[in-house]
Amino acid sequence: MLKIRLRRMGAIRQPHYRIVVADSRAPRDGAFIDILGSYNPRTDPATIQVDTTKYDSWKSKGAQPTDAVERLVRQFNRAARKAAAAPEAAAPTATPAPTRRTRSASGKGITPPPAPAAEAPTAAAADETTPGEDDTDAPVLEAASTTPEGAAEGETDTDTAS
C-alpha cells in the first residue's frame, strides 16, 4: 500500500520535512517514490509547499495520506485560497532573513550576531525643526555613584531594617 507521509530531514534538533509518496513498509526516512512538497515548522509562520496536482494524482491512484499530511494540505489550500482572494495582501513583504547565532570568541556561550547599523539621518532631516522646539540637547540622566551625605558606606535610603 502507498502512503503519502512526512519524511524527516535536517540536522539534530533542526527538523524540516518532505511530503513524499512511499511504500507503507519502508522506513520513515527510507526509500520513497515521489516528492510532493515540503514542510518547515521552524519558520514563523510555518512554511508549507505542496504540489497539489501531484497530490491529487497520487490520491486518485490509491495512495493514502497520513493524518498529519492531510492537515498540512488543508492548511496549504486554505492559505492559497486566502492569497487568491486578496492579491494585494499576498504581495511579498520585506522580512529580514533569519540570522545564525555564533559562538563567542571565548567559546563559553552563544552570542547573537551584531545588529545592523541604523541609518544616519540626512543633513536635510537634521535641519528641520518644528516650531517651539529647542535645539538644545535634553539633559542626560546618570545613576548616582556616591552615597548620600550623612549615610554610612553601603547604607541606602531604602533600607527598612534597623
Residue 20 contacts residue 68 (beta carbons within 8 Å) = no
Q: Cβ neighbours of residue 155 under 8 Å, at least 6 residues apart? A: 147
Q: Which amino acid is present at 18?
A: R
**Averaged confidence pLDDT in the chain:** 76
Residue 23 contacts residue 30 (beta carbons within 8 Å) = no
pLDDT band at 29 (very low <50, low <70, confident <90, very high): confident
DSSP assignment, residue 136? S
**Mean pLDDT of the region 22-48:** 93
Q: Are strands 2-11 and 64-65 parallel, antiparallel or unpaired?
A: parallel
Q: pLDDT, tens digit, for every residue of 122-143?
A: 555 555 555 555 555 555 555 5
pLDDT band at 2 (very low <50, low <70, confident <90, very high): very high
- pTM of this prediction? 0.53
Q: Please tell me the predicted confidence (pLDDT) of residue 110.
A: 55
Q: pLDDT, tens digit, for every residue of 39-56?
A: 999 999 999 999 999 999
Query: What are the residue ranges spanned by the domains of the chain?
Result: 2-85
Instruction: For residues 141 and 76, give the distance between their C-alpha atoms in angstroms, rounded to a whole number.
Output: 53
Check whether domain 2-85 has CATH 3.30.590.10, yes or no: no
Higher local confidence (pLDDT), 84 or 121: 84
Q: First and final CA of the chain: distance in angstroms?
A: 81
